[in-house]
Chains A and B, each alone.
Chain A
Amino acid sequence: MKFLPRLFPALLAVSGLLPVPSALAEDAGALFVRRVWPLFQEKCLACHGKDEAKIKGGLDMRTAEALRQGGDSEEPSVVAGQPEKSALYLSVTRRHADDWEPMPPKENDQLTAEQIAWVKEWIAGGAPWPDDATQKVIAKANADKWSAEDGIIVPTSGGLAPEWTNRRYQPENLWAYRPLQKPAVPTPAADFQNPIDAFLTAKMPAGVTPAPLADRRTLLRRATFDLLGLPPTPEEVAAFLADPAADDAAFAEVIERLLAAPHYGEKWGQHWLDVVRYADSSGFANDYVRGNAWRYRDYVIRAFNADKPYDQFIREQIAGDELAGDASQPSELLIATGFLRMGPWELTGMEVAKIARQRFLDDVTNSVGETFLAHSLQCARCHDHKFDPVPTRDYYGFQAVFATTQLSERPAPFLPVENIRGFEERKYLEQRHRHYLAMLQRLDEKSLTAAGSWFVEKKIDRAAWDEAVAAARQQQGGTKKRRAFNGVFNSARTAMQKRGVPENQYPPKLHGFAPEDFGHERIARKGLERLKWENDRYEPYAFAVYAGRTPNLQSVYQPLRPPADALKAGELEETAILTGGDPFAAAAKVTPAVLSAANTLGAPELADSKLPEAIEGRRAALAEWIASPKNPLTARVMVNRIWLWHFGTALAGNPNNFGGTGKKPTHPELLDWLAATFVEKGWSVKALHRAIMNSAAYRRASAHPEPQQLAEKDPNGTSYAVFQPRRLTAEEMRDSMLQVSGELNPTLGGIPVRPEMNLEAALQPRQVMGTFAEAWQPNPRPEQRHRRSIYALRIRGQLDPFYEVFNAPSPDLSCEGRDASTVTPQAFSLFNSQASYDRALAFAARLLKETINREGAITRAFQLVYARAPRPAELASCLQHWDAMTARHQTLTFAPPQIPREVVREAVEENTGEKFTFTEPLEVAADFVPDLKPATAPPETRGLAEVCLVLLNSNEFAYLY
C-alpha cells in the first residue's frame, strides 16, 4: 500500500530524517514484525516463496534460513549485522546493478528511501526473525502505538492472507468511506448567496481574487451547451441580453428554461451513456446488433428529463426486473436493466461457455462497482486489492449477487412515451432477407445440377438420391413464407444419412461450388443469422436480464428469449473465490455480499444486513444498499461526476476511482456538502444543477485579469478562480452544425438513426465471424439523418470516424470525462469532409432565405455560430471572401451526387484462400434523398457556403468560454 510516494507526503517528510539513529531505533525484532516482514510479503514473496513452483532465481524468502542461504548466486542474501555485504540490501537500493539486479524488478515497485532504511537497519540489527508466537506477542504489545503511528486497520470480510487483513491504511486514503455528514457552510467575510462559493472561497489561495463574472452572452452560450449540448439561438441571446432583471435573477430564469427543455435529457443522458459504455452492438467476433438497446438509451434520456431521483435510477438499472412485479409499466423497469449488459459480450461456438459466462460476471461486477461506487473492482479479481480495503472475498461476494442474473431479450410492450415511429424501414431488411434466400437457392440448384455429373462420374446408381431430392422438393414447396433456408440438396443429403447410406454413395456437402460460391454461401447463411438480431429492433422486447438458474448455452446466435422455467432448469451457480480469477479454480464458497469496508467505515448500521441467497431478490437488495442514504460512496460519486460535467474538472480527480490511488478531493467539505444536500433534496439531479449553476464559480469569466499571478498562486488550477474553457464534444459539434444550418430534426427518442458517414468508412468491409459485416447505409430522408448524434446507431466495430477523431470515447471502456486533445485528422474531418461541405451549403441556403441583404446574411451567420454580431472588419473580410468565392464558383460546375446502389467487395475466401468478389446490395439507395448539393445550388450560395465552412471550422465555434 505504499507504492506511490506522491500520496504520502507525511512519510516522505519522515524519510528525510533517515537513517534513524540507532539509539532511537526500534528493536530489530519489532522492526521485523512491524516493517520488514510485511514489506517482504508486499514486495517480494510473489516471486520468492508464495508459489514454490515459480520461485525466481532460486531465492526463497519465507524463512530466515532460506533467506540466509540465498538463491542461485550461492551467496547469502543476508549477512547479519552487515547490510553492505547483504545481497538483499544491495539489490533493493538499485545502486549495485552490476552485481545485484535491482529488486523488485519493476521501477514502479521500487522501495521508498524509508523502506530501504528499514531493511538496512534490520540487517544491521542482526536480522532477527522471531518465531510466529513471538511475533504475535510483539505485535500485541505494540498494537496501540503502531496504530497511532502507521495508520489504521480496516475491518473487512477478510483477505486471502492475514497480513492483508491486518494491513494498515493511511487515513487520508480512506476519505470516501467515511460516513457522509453535512459540513457547516463556512462564513467568510463576504456575504455569499451560494454555499458553494463559500466553500470555494474558504480554500481560495491567498492573494487570488476570483475573475469577474462572465458577460451575459458568454454565459448563455456556456450554459446552453452545458445543459442542452446546442448553441443558443440568436433570439434567445437577444432576449437574455435585453432582460431588465438583475444578472442573478435573469440567469436563474435561463437555467430553469434550459432544465425544462427536452434536449436537456439528451445532453446529460450522453454523459451517463459514456460511463456505462453504451453501444448498439455486442462487439467481439460477431459484433451482432443489439436490436433493443435503443430503448435503454431512451430510458436514460427520459430519466434525466423527468429528474428521476438518483436512488430510484440506481434501483431500476440494477434490479428493475425484480421490482417490476406489480408495476403498472413493467417495460420501463425491464428496459432499465439493459445497464447490466452494456459491456461487450458474446458466446460463440469457439469459446468454452463457462469462460464466456465468467466474462459477463466479471464485467458486470466491475461495471456496477465503477459506475455507482467509483471502485474498479476488477483489481480484486485475482488477489486482494493492492491499495484499497477490498478483499477478493468482497469481489466474489459482490459477484455472487449476479450469479443468478441471466441475459435475455425479454417481452416488454412498447410504452406510450416511447417513439415507435419509422418501423417501416424494416422493409429494407426484408429485401435483404430475400436477397440471401435467393443466393442460397441459386447455390442449392448448382449443387443439385452438379450432383448429376457426380453420379455419372462415380458410376453410382442415383435412384435413391433422386427420390430423396423429390421428397425434399415437395417438402420445401409446402412450407409457406420461409424465414430460414433449408436447401433441397442438403435435405436430400440428410435423408440419405438418416437412412444409413454410406457417405461415399451420395455427393459431398457444398458440392459443385466454384471458389467464390463458398464465400457466397457463407455470406448468405450468416447474413440470415445477423438479420435476426436486426429484426429484433422493431419488436417489443427489452435488452434485459432475469433472475434464474444459468441455462446450458453452448452458443448464442440469435436473441435470447427468457425460458419458461427460469427457476428450475439449468445450474444454480454457487459462487466461490476463483483462484487467479480462473473459473475452473474455485476455492472457498461465498454468498452475496457488499463492499465490507464501506459498511464498517461508513455505515456500521448496514454492516449486519445480509443479502438474500434466494435466486430472486439479490440485485434488489444490492441496489437498496447502494441507493441507501447511509452508503458513504454513492452520493459522493454522483455529485462528483456532475461537478466534472459542469466544470471540466472533478472535485475528486478520478470519478471512477475513489480508492487510495485516485486523486484526493481538492475540496472535500464542498464535496460532502454537495453529496449530503443531494440526498436531502431527494437525490434530485436538477436541484444540483441549480445549486451549481447559480454559483458565482460557475458564472465566472474564463480569462483572469492577472493570469500570471493566478498561474503562480494556483499552479494546478484547482481554485475555480476562473472558468476553464473547453472544446465542444464530437456530438456537440455535429449537432450544432445541424442546428445552425437549420437542418436539425429535434424529434426525441426512437430506433437508432444512421446519418451519412464518410462514404469510404461506410462501405469499409470488415470481417465478423465467418463473414463480412453489412455496409453502413444512411437513412433515406434528410430529416431522418439529421437527428441528434445521441440517436446515431453505435456499432462497436464501425464507429463513425467523425466521433472517433473528435475524442468520443470507445464503448469498450467506461469514460469518466472526455478528452479534447487536438489531433491533425480533426482538421481533415472538419475542413475536407463531405458532411462539412453539406452543412455549410445548407447553412448558406438558410441565411439567404432568412435575410434580405448580404450584410444581413453574414451578421445572421455570426449570430447563429458565435452568438454575436460580426465586428466591422470581420464583416468586411467575410463579404469580400463571399464575393471572391462566388466568382470562383461561377467557373465551377458540380455533378449531381452518385448514390451507389450496391457495393462490390473483394475478399479472401476462408475455405480456399482465394480472392473472390461479392456484391452487396444497398437497398436504401433506391429511396435516398440527398441533402442540398452544389450541383443544384447557385454560385452565390456556394460562395457563401465557403464563408460558412470557415466559420464552422473556426476556434470561436469550437471552444466554449
Chain B
Amino acid sequence: MSSYFPCAGHRALHAPTRRQFLYSLGASIGSVAFTSFLSRELQAAPATASPLAPKPGHLPAKAKSCIFLMMEGGPSHIDTFDPKPKLADLHLQEFVREGKMKSAMESGKRYYVQSPFQFAKHGQSGADMADNWTHLARVADDLCFFRGCQVDSVNHPTAMYQMNTGNRFGGDPGIGAWVTYGLGSLNQDLPGFVVLPEVSYPQGGAPNWGNGFLPASFQGTPLRAKGSPILDLTPPVGITPDHQRTNLDLLGQLNRDHAAQHPGHGELAARMDSYELAFRMQMQVPGLIDLEKEDPKLKEMYGLGQDATDAFGRKCLLARKLVEKGVRFVQLYAGTWDSHDYIERAHGNLVRNVDQPIAALLTDLKQRGLLDETLVVWCGEFGRSPDNGVRGGTQYGRDHNPHAMTVWMAGGGVKAGHTIGATDETGDKAVECVHHVRDLHVTLLRLLGLDDNKLTYFHGGRFKQLSQFGGQPISELIA
C-alpha cells in the first residue's frame, strides 16, 4: 500500500510500472494484438497486473459471480414471501407503538392491515409465495428464503447504503467493489462490476455502487437503461470511427514524442493505452448490450416486448450475458417498492414487472449450467410494517420496517428449497435465526470464496471491511 488517501486508494508515487485503469490489461494491452475482445479470460495475472486481474479468493468458492437483484424502495415481506394470516384477524385494529424510537412517520392513529394477496405453497419445498408470483413459483425449489435479516436504518438512502456498502452513511465501497477488489474479474475488457440501474437513479444515487476508498478501478459501471449505455461512449453525431482514428493517430504521434522526452514517467504509457482501449470499447460495447439478435424464444421467455416485463427482462438477459462473459458482479435495480399506500395495486404491478424476468433468468442460467456457479440474490433495503396510518383513507399500504424483511438467494452454494428464519406473527420483527445485515454480507462473500475478515483495506486509521466490524456467516443459508 503506497498511500492511504481516503479519496485516492492506491496512488503510484514512485512506481512507474504500476498502472491503473479501468478494465484494462495493464501494460500488456498496447503490445498484445487485439483478438477476441469479449471472450478473453485470463488464467493468471500478468506480470504488470491490472487491478482487475483475477485473484484467488481466501476460501474455496461456491460461486464465481454474483447477480444481485436490488428491489429498491423496500418490498413488503408480508405481501410477497412471508404470509401473516394473523393480520386478517387484526385487520383495522389499532396498532400502538410508543417510546423513544417513534418518528414523525409513525404519528397519528395506526392500524394493522391484512395483506391483499392470497398465498400458497409452491414446489416440493412448499415455499410460501403470494399468488401473483406465477413464474417464480415454478422455480421455487431453487430458492432459499431468509426471513431473519435486520438492518439499522428506516430511511431509504441510509438503508440502501447499508445494504449496498455495509455503511449507513455512504462513502464506503459497494459489495461489487469489494468483490472485484478481492477476486478481480475474468474479463479484462469489461468492468468487473456492472450496474443496471432503473432509468431513474435510486435515492442516494451513484454512491450505492461507488468504489468508496478503494481504487477507482473497482467502481460499479452503470450501463444506463436509456441513451448511451456509458456516458460519452461515442463521439458527437457525424464523427465516424475513421475520422476518430485519424485524430487518434495524431494524438499517438504527439504522445510518443512527448514520452521520448520524459522516459522516466511511466503513467504516460498507461494513459496512451487507455485511449486505444476506449476506442475499441466504443465499437464493441453497443454490440454486447444489443439484445435484438438474441433468439426470439429466449426474448419471449424473459418477457421482452411485453409492456410490463420488457425493461426488467432486458436487464435480466443482459445480466446473464455479462456473467457469461466473465463479469464478476452485476447489480440490477427494480423499483420503487415504497408502497405506503395502495399496496395491492403497487406491489401487484411491481411483481408483474419482475416475476417473469427473474424466473427466466434462473431458468436460463440453469439451462446453461451457470446457476451452480452464479449466486443470485434478491432483496430490498428493508421490509415493511404490519401496520399503516391508513393514509389516503381507503387503500392500505405499509411503512418502512428495518426489523423484518425477506431476502432470497439462489444458485452457487445456497441451500435451495429451504426457508430459513422467521418473523413474529404479524411480521413486525424477525424472531428466528435473526441476523444483522452484516452477517448476510459475510455470507455472500463466503459463497464467493472471500473471507470478510481478510478482505480488508486500510483507510482512515483502521482496516475496513464490508461488514464494518466483522460478522458471522449464516451457516443455515449455505448448502
User: Which residues in A have some Cβ–Cβ distance to B below 8 Å?
Assistant: 105-108, 274, 283-285, 287, 344, 348-354, 359, 376, 378-379, 386-387, 503, 508-510, 554-555, 584, 648-649, 653-654, 656-657, 659, 661-663, 702-704, 707, 711, 714-717, 724-725, 727, 758, 760-761, 764-769, 772, 796-799, 801, 804, 807, 809-810, 812-829, 831-834, 837, 871, 873-874, 877-878, 881, 884-885, 888, 892, 894, 905-914, 934, 946-947, 949-951, 953-956, 958-959, 961
Contacts and interface: CB of A to CB of B under 8 A. Distances in A.
Interface in B215-271: 215-217, 219, 221, 224, 227-228, 230-238, 243-244, 246-247, 250-251, 253-255, 257-259, 262-265, 267-268, 270-271
A662 B461 contact: yes
A888 B238 CA distance: 11
A344 B203 CA distance: 14
Given A707-B264, A884-B246, A949-B247, A352 B6 contact: no
Contact of B103 (A349, A881, A910, A949): A349
Nearest to A893: B238
Nearest to B51: A821
Most buried by B among A108, A913, A961: A913
Contact of A510 (B101, B227, B392): B392
B37 interface: no
B305 interface: no
A723 to B, nearest CB: 12
Given A810-B7, A822-B20, A914-B349, A881 B461 contact: no
Lowest 3 A-B CB distances belong to which pairs? A717-B14, A913-B349, A819-B8
Contact of B101 (A352, A768, A878): A352
B340 interface: yes
A71 B5 CA distance: 42
Most buried by B among A801, A831, A874: A831
A877 B232 contact: no
A833 B246 contact: no
B125 interface: no
Interface residues of B, number: 122
Interface stretch (B39-47, B272-280, B372-380): B272-280
B400 A912 contact: no
A810 B214 CA distance: 13
Contacts of B104: 349-350, 353, 554-555
B313 interface: no
A285 B24 CA distance: 35
Contacts of A953: 251, 275
A910 B231 contact: no
B454 interface: yes
Contacts of A914: 345-346, 349
B282 A828 contact: yes
B19 A822 contact: yes
B170 interface: yes
A833 B232 contact: yes
A946 B274 contact: no
Interface string B446-467: 0000010110101011110000
A955 B230 contact: no
Contacts of B246: 881, 884-885, 946
A825 B6 CA distance: 21
Contacts of A958: 271
B403 interface: no
B39 to A, nearest CB: 19
Contacts of B393: 503, 508-509
A761 B463 CA distance: 35
B461 A376 contact: yes
Interface stretch (B134-142, B155-163, B321-329, B407-415): B155-163
Contacts of A766: 200-202, 205
B278 A656 contact: no
Contacts of A351: 103, 154-155
A956 B254 contact: yes
Given A766-B200, A767-B200, A912-B346, A819 B232 contact: no
Contacts of A584: 100-101
B345 A908 contact: no
B454 A812 contact: no
Given A823-B216, A955-B259, A913 B6 contact: no
Contacts of A769: 156, 203
**Interface class of chain B by DSSP:** loop
Contacts of A822: 19-21, 267, 270-271, 274
A284 B277 contact: no
Contacts of A349: 103-105
Given A760-B224, A910-B338, A834 B236 contact: yes
B293 to A, nearest CB: 25
A946 B238 CA distance: 13
A351 B107 CA distance: 12
A322 B278 CA distance: 54
A379 B469 CA distance: 12
Nearest to A727: B267
Contacts of A503: 393
Contacts of A510: 392
28 contacts: A106-B456, A283-B170, A353-B103, A508-B393, A509-B393, A659-B461, A661-B461, A702-B265, A703-B265, A717-B13, A760-B224, A766-B202, A767-B201, A767-B335, A797-B201, A797-B205, A807-B216, A813-B171, A817-B8, A819-B11, A822-B21, A837-B236, A878-B250, A905-B200, A912-B346, A913-B337, A951-B254, A954-B255
Contacts of A649: 13
B368 to A, nearest CB: 29
B49 to A, nearest CB: 14
A654 B169 contact: no
B253 A829 contact: no
Nearest to A870: B254
B394 interface: yes
A823 B453 contact: no
Interface in B1-43: 3-14, 19-24
Given A823-B274, A908-B336, A832 B233 contact: yes
B341 interface: yes
B164 interface: no
A769 B171 CA distance: 20
Given A761-B231, A801-B231, A821 B9 contact: yes
B406 interface: no
Most buried by B among A378, A810, A873, A884: A810
Contacts of B216: 807, 819, 821, 823
A910 B155 contact: no
Contact of A911 (B19, B282, B341): B341
Contact of A959 (B230, B268, B347): B268
A571 B479 CA distance: 53
